[in-house]
């Protein structure tokens, strides 16, 4: 199956002070097939979030290669990376990262506008994305008027509004109770299956891993296990 993401021998070191550093990645390679839903698991400090940030163009490796849809992206100019990020990638974070003064519709449509979509079309796309995550009746609500699960649904709608090739999730169920977490995972799985969008999820939650096609385990900056469900 065609790989949509490929990491080749990625290394990343964070310098904390003189003669004090952390090797977050120590030569990590990974391929993710198009349409797959993959979980990256591991203890704190294992390198899983660093790997996601490099694959999602939020940071650059010290060495190695990052490929997306058949082209190398780790050496792209910042402006080109911004375009890739806004048009081809979606992001879901543990803390939702919604703008508190904006409605659900405005939060989601803003992602479309950032990608260059006109305001009217961005709002139409946002309305469709919110309906897709079951919030068609909450489009005028601000984050403070929504539950944690509903806020995460808005965040997911924002991640998929531009029909990205890949959605990255950093602990997407970390702030949710078990029942709500299950609902969110079921919904993301439905989106994955119906649209063919690739999902790469970093999580501590074993239920997240169970919902995915594949589970990659990391420790000390390396992949130590790679299992198909």
Percent pLDDT > 90 in the chain is 86
Q: What is the pLDDT of residue 158?
A: 96
Mean pLDDT of 54-83: 95
Q: pTM of the full predicted structure?
A: 0.93
Q: What is the pLDDT of residue 16?
A: 83
**Least trusted range by pLDDT, from 25-29, 100-104, 179-183:** 179-183
Q: What is the pLDDT of residue 2?
A: 84
The residues spanned by each domain of the chain are: 1-69+198-229
**149 in Cβ contact with 178 (< 8 Å):** no
Contacts 24+ apart (CB under 8 A), 96-101: 96/143, 96/148, 96/151, 96/152, 96/154, 96/155, 96/175, 97/155, 98/143, 98/151, 98/154, 98/155, 98/158, 99/143, 100/142, 100/143, 100/144, 101/142
Choices 3.20.10.10, 1.25.60.10, 2.40.37.10, 3.40.50.300: CATH for 1-69+198-229: 3.40.50.300
Mean pLDDT of 174-201: 93
12-38: pLDDT as tens digits: 999 988 888 999 999 999 999 999 999
Q: Where are the alpha helices (DSSP H) in 161-205?
A: 178-195
- pLDDT band with cut points at 50, 70 and 90 for residue 96: confident
Q: What is the pLDDT of residue 174?
A: 86
**146 in Cβ contact with 138 (< 8 Å):** yes
Which SS3 state, helix, strand or coil, does residue 39 take?
Answer: strand
Residues 6+ apart with CB under 8 A from 186: 211
Q: Assign 3-class secondary structure to 44-99.
A: CCCCHHHHHHHHCCCCCCCEEEEEECCEECCCCCHHHHHHHHHHHEEEEECCCCCC
């Amino acid at each position: 199956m065609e790989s949509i993401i490929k990491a080749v021998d990625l290394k990343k070191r964070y310098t904390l002070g003189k003669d004090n550093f952390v090797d977050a990645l120590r030569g990590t390679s990974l391929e993710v097939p198009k349409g797959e839903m993959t979980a990256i698991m591991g203890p704190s400090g294992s390198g899983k979030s660093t790997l996601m940030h490099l694959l999602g163009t939020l940071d650059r490796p010290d060495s190695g290669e990052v490929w997306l849809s058949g082209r190398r992206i780790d050496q792209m100019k910042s402006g080109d990376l911004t375009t890739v990020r806004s048009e081809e990638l979606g992001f879901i974070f543990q803390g939702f990262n919604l703008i508190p003064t904006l409605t659900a519709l405005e939060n989601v449509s803003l992602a479309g506008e950032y990608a260059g979509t006109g305001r009217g079309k961005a709002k139409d796309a946002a309305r469709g994305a919110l309906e897709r995550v079951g919030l068609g009746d909450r489009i005028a609500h601000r984050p403070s008027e929504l539950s944690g699960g509903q806020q995460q649904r808005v965040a997911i709608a924002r991640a998929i509004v531009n029909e990205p090739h890949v959605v990255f999730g950093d602990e997407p169920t970390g702030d949710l109770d078990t029942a709500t977490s299950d609902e969110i995972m079921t919904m993301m799985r439905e989106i994955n299956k119906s649209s063919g969008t690739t999902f790469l999820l970093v999580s501590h939650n074993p239920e997240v891993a169970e919902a995915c096609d594949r589970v990659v385990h990391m420790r000390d900056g390396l992949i130590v296990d790679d299992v198909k469900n």
